[in-house]
Amino acid sequence: MMMHPETAHTDMPLAPPTVKDRITIHQTILRLTAIYKTVALAIVLIGVVLWLTIINRILHFGRTLDYSGLEALGIDAALIKQYNPFFWWTVVIICTLLFSYLLFHLVQYTRQRASQKVVSDTDLSELLKKISPAATHVLSWAWQQRRHPITVGVLQQTTAQLGANRYALICLAKKQEQQIQNHLAPTTKHTEPLHHL
């Protein structure tokens, strides 16, 4: 009978995972995603510097704009000039919000790509040598899509589940499954001959 990942391979309770397990997995995640984090940081820094330069140019353009020609049309240029800073700061704020929105989604895209990075056999072997058997069970539980290799996202899920006491829940599920199997065993033996009638 196929078992759910929560209950597979946990016949005997092991020592619970430790904080060291979480730290070890987190360090592996940082190492595997270092290039993505560097790219994201570079994008943010370049974007901020570029946007600050654009803001200064926009405000400078607004300050140096000459409205005296509007007086020929009967428009009070002094009144426009009085409210001119408020107008250009409003433009800057709106554009900054749009820029921040685009930058945020760009960083999120980079993080998503990082979470999809496949963990190599070598990296996985090194990690398994450093974490406890109980933490390995949680990693197995987090690896739901068995048709696909383990990714950084699986390691991130493992770290989160270690903090949520997942191993204790896995052991509880195994115990409850065994209780149900023991309860059903006599009934199965009793009704089995009926299938041969």
pLDDT 10s per residue in the chain (197 long)? Answer: 344 444 444 455 678 899 999 999 999 999 999 999 999 999 999 999 999 999 999 988 888 776 666 656 666 666 667 777 888 899 999 999 999 999 999 999 999 999 999 999 999 999 999 999 999 999 999 999 999 999 999 999 999 999 999 999 999 999 999 999 998 876 555 555 545 44
The pLDDT, as a whole number, for residue 7 is 43
The pLDDT, as a whole number, for residue 3 is 44
Q: What is the pTM of this model?
A: 0.74
The pLDDT, as a whole number, for residue 68 is 64
Q: What are phi and psi of 164, to 5 degrees?
A: -100, 15
Angle 77-115/34-64 helices, nearest 10 degrees?
170
- C-alpha 52: how far from chain center: 29
